[in-house]
Chain A
Amino acid sequence: MDKWDKPLTKNIRSERAFATLTDYRKTGGYQGMRKAITELRPKEVQQWVKDAGLRGRGGAGFSTGLKWSLVPMGYNGATDAHQTRYLVANADEMEPGAFKDRLLLEQDPHQLLEGMIIAAYAIQANIAYIFMRGEYHLAAKRVENALQEARTEGYLGKHILQSDFNLEIYLHTSAGRYICGEETALINALEGKRANPRAKPPFTVVSGLWGKPTVVNNVETLCNVPHILQNGVEWYRGLGRGSDTGTKLFGASGRLKYPGLWELPMGTPIREIIEEHAGGMRDGYKLRGLLPGGASTGFLLPEHLDVLMDYDAVAKAGSRLGTGTMIILDDKTCPVRMLLNIEEFFAQESCGWCTPCRDGLPWTVTLLRDIIAGRGRIEDLDTLAGLTRMLGPGNTFCALAPGAMEPLQGALKFFREDFEQYIPGKLAAGGED
Chain B
Amino acid sequence: MRTGKKLQAICPKVYAEEFSRPVHKIGMITCGLAVLANLLPPAWLYLQYGVFPPAAAIAKGMGLALTYAVPFFIIEPIIYYPVLGDAGTYMSFLSGNIANMRLPCAAVAQAVAGVEEGTREGELIGTVGIALSIWLSIFAVLIGALATGWFVQFFSPWLQDAFKSYLLPATWGAVFGLFALRGLRYAPAALVLALTVILLKWPPYIAIPITVFGTILVGRVIYCHSHGRTLGPDRQRTPEL
Q: Check if A and B associate.
A: no
Show the binding face of A for B, using Cβ within 8 Å: none
Binding site for A on B (CB under 8 A): none
